[in-house]
Amino acid sequence: QLQASGGGLVQPGGSLTLSCAHSAPNFGDYAIGWFRQAPGREREVVSVISSSGENTYYTDSVKGRFTISRDNAKNTVYLRMNSLKPEDTATYYCAASGTVILSNLRNVAAYAYWGQGTQVTVSS
């Protein structure tokens, strides 16, 4: 139901924009989170955006480098990733949640719907 795309291989310092699309008519009712999971590690939150787009959250390691945004008319959420580092290498997932409390949206358990993941590899 959620379709994540835009991953790829990029050199350190490069940029990528991930997209998360959904065809549901009530897409604008859901907060969307981007998570990532590297091999051997737990899935971690990267960034979250509220249903309206007014509130956002970024994990400390991506603050100032990543920007989350949404276009509810296009049923799409974007994650612009700049100044990419090798430690950003992971499979990135988008997920949808009906939760409105931003602090709760940092948790994997808050999300009922998940996309299939898109691979981001940062390497020279």
Give per-residue pLDDT as tens, 3-34: 999 999 999 999 999 999 988 778 889 999 99
Give the per-residue pLDDT at 99: 87
Token digits for 19?
């997209």
Amino acid at 121: T
Report the 10 Å Cβ neighbour count for 23. 9
Rounded Cα distance between 64 and 83, Å, is 9
How many angstroms separate the Cα of 40 from the Cα of each of 2, 14, 36?
24, 25, 12
What is the tens place of the pLDDT at every residue in 62-92? 999 999 999 989 999 999 999 999 999 999 9
Secondary structure of residue 40 in the 3-state scheme: coil
Task: Write down the residue that tokens 């990267």 correspond to.
Answer: 46
